[in-house]
Amino acid sequence: MDPLILSRMQFGANISFHILFPTITIALGWVLLFFKLRYNATGDSAWMRAYFTWVKVFALSFAMGVVTGVTMSFQFGTNWPGYMQKVGNIAGPLLAYEILTAFFLEAAFLGIMLFGFRRVSNRIHTLATVLVAGGTTVSAFWIIALNSWMQTPAGFEMRDGVAHAVDWWAIVFNPSMPYRLVHMLLASGLTVSFLIAGLSALRYLKGDRSESMWKALRTGVFTAAILIPIQIFAGDQHGLNTLEHQPQKIAAMEANWNTGPNVPLVLFALPDEAARENRFEIAIPDGASLVLRHSTDGVVPGLNDYVGNHPPVFPVFWGFRIMVGTGLLMLAVSWSAAFFLRRRHRLPKPLALLMVPMALSGWLATLAGWYTTEIGRQPWLVTGVLKTADAVGPVAGSHVALTLAIYLILYAFLLIAYLGVLVHLALKAAKDGDSSPLPGVMNAALSQPSAGE
């Protein structure tokens, strides 16, 4: 097979697997801080129990994020040497700042956060939690800045075929960066709130009515219910920003083949790129014009303006629909759960049963969204500057295929193990309820094995 396709699949596989874990740690750090601050304010040990249950998930997710992230830093060189040769002057400093300002901070204080509860004062332990949570967010800031720059490059000039920085402010805060950053941080918040709500619902179904379960469940459900409308609004703004700067991506997302007014909103279709038309289309008349231009005769860009220079339509179209569909489902589930928790102080069983698989809905929406925006950037690696095909390295296809196969097996194995541990931790917490020993009280370290665990 073609090394280009294989390298793309490999990069896609690696970064898809990687993004699952930062998506959790970015927001989970802040949720842990919330638990810790509530404990500091109320002295209620149930908050600390919630902290200790979820700090384990954090530690595991962090480790998964680190090791898969190391893989990414090598992949630039092993598979895509053309990327750094062309835009290394821009990408380099952004990546360097991510390492310097975020990675070390997180890694150094994670130890104190996990194992230091009794070794440092409560104040320092809280500070360590702040620094770790801050580190994950700073890391997201830099990497989103770089990714957005690849989508909507700004603040540079080309000299001898190589990009040179002219204005760092314009590079970091490029046109799509603020939208993408907000969208991603909210996605992380939603992923974590549904994960917490879902695993707490599992504890609920197992008959656990402990205070720490209620606290985690309420935190998850209410955070989700608050964040999802904000996310829908932010996503819409992000879409309008894409319309302005990357119209060909919008055309593919809407599977709109011809530029013009009164464009329908396609709900279902099988886009056929060979025939340049949609099959089995179900659409709302004038819908896309209304959503994107806020008027029924608004002109929506079509793929006919970008022949040979637009992304593959099928994956972008469907990635977008899976993301939006998942988002709407999240709205329905989180609002019903919030209603029952506030008014009835209980969860109906069917809703709790639905919330358990919805624990992973954030992952699904995040991946679908990233596929939409990243495949939507093709055929460019850096829009208008570097084509993906021109960045691939001279490695033999057989090497890439072999390593890709092993990565996929490894990732499948790790994913199963990871999900297994999450369920195991939830069931164990359900069994222990409020009687689980608090670390520091019963001589059990947070992330260390203890008898019977």
Is residue 417 a contact point for other proteins (CB under 8 A)? yes
Quick one: which of 52, 117, 141, 380 contacts other proteins (CB under 8 A)?
117
**HEC states along the chain?**
CCHHHHHHHHHHHHHHHHHHHHHHHHHHHHHHHHHHHHHHHHCCHHHHHHHHHHHHHHHHHHHHHHHHHHHHHHHHHHHCHHHHHHHHHHHHHHHHHHHHHHHHHHHHHHHHHHHCCCCCCHHHHHHHHHHHHHHHHHHHHHHHHHHHHHHCCCCEEEECCEEEECCHHHHHCCCCHHHHHHHHHHHHHHHHHHHHHHHHHHHHHCCCCCHHHHHHHHHHHHHHHHHHHHHHHHHHHHHHHHHHHCHHHHHHHCCCCCCECCCCEEEEEEEECCCCEEEEEEEECCHHHHHHHCCCCCCECCHHHHCCCCCCHHHHHHHHHHHHHHHHHHHHHHHHHHHHHHHHCCCCHHHHHHHCHHHHHHHHHHHHHHHHHHHCCCCEEECCCEEHHHCCCCCCHHHHHHHHHHHHHHHHHHHHHHHHHHHHHHHHHHHHHHHCCCCCCCCCCCCCCCCCC
Least distance between other proteins and beta carbon 233 (Å)? 34
Total number of residues that touch other proteins (CB under 8 A): 78
d(CA 36, CA 62) in angstroms, rounded, equals 19
Closest to other proteins by CB, 161 vs 308, is: 161
Least distance between other proteins and beta carbon 433 (Å)? 19
Is residue 70 a contact point for other proteins (CB under 8 A)? yes
Least distance between other proteins and beta carbon 94 (Å)? 9
Quick one: which of 8, 56, 180, 203 contacts other proteins (CB under 8 A)?
56
Closest to other proteins by CB, 59 vs 385, is: 59
Residues numbered 370 to 399 that lie near other proteins (CB under 8 A) are: 393-395, 399
Closest to other proteins by CB, 267 vs 445, is: 445
Residues numbered 140 to 169 that lie near other proteins (CB under 8 A) are: 162, 164-165, 168
Least distance between other proteins and beta carbon 411 (Å)? 9
Residues numbered 331 to 350 that lie near other proteins (CB under 8 A) are: none
Least distance between other proteins and beta carbon 290 (Å)? 45
Quick one: which of 6, 31, 95, 130 contacts other proteins (CB under 8 A)?
95
Closest to other proteins by CB, 139 vs 289, is: 139
Q: Which stretch binds other proteins (CB under 8 A): 85-93, 189-197, 203-211, 290-298?
A: 85-93
Quick one: which of 285, 420, 431, 434 contacts other proteins (CB under 8 A)?
420
Q: Which stretch binds other proteins (CB under 8 A): 263-271, 296-304, 363-371, 416-424?
A: 416-424
Closest to other proteins by CB, 79 vs 372, is: 79
Q: Which stretch binds other proteins (CB under 8 A): 146-154, 182-190, 255-263, 419-427?
A: 419-427
Quick one: which of 1, 99, 332, 416 contacts other proteins (CB under 8 A)?
99
Least distance between other proteins and beta carbon 417 (Å)? 6
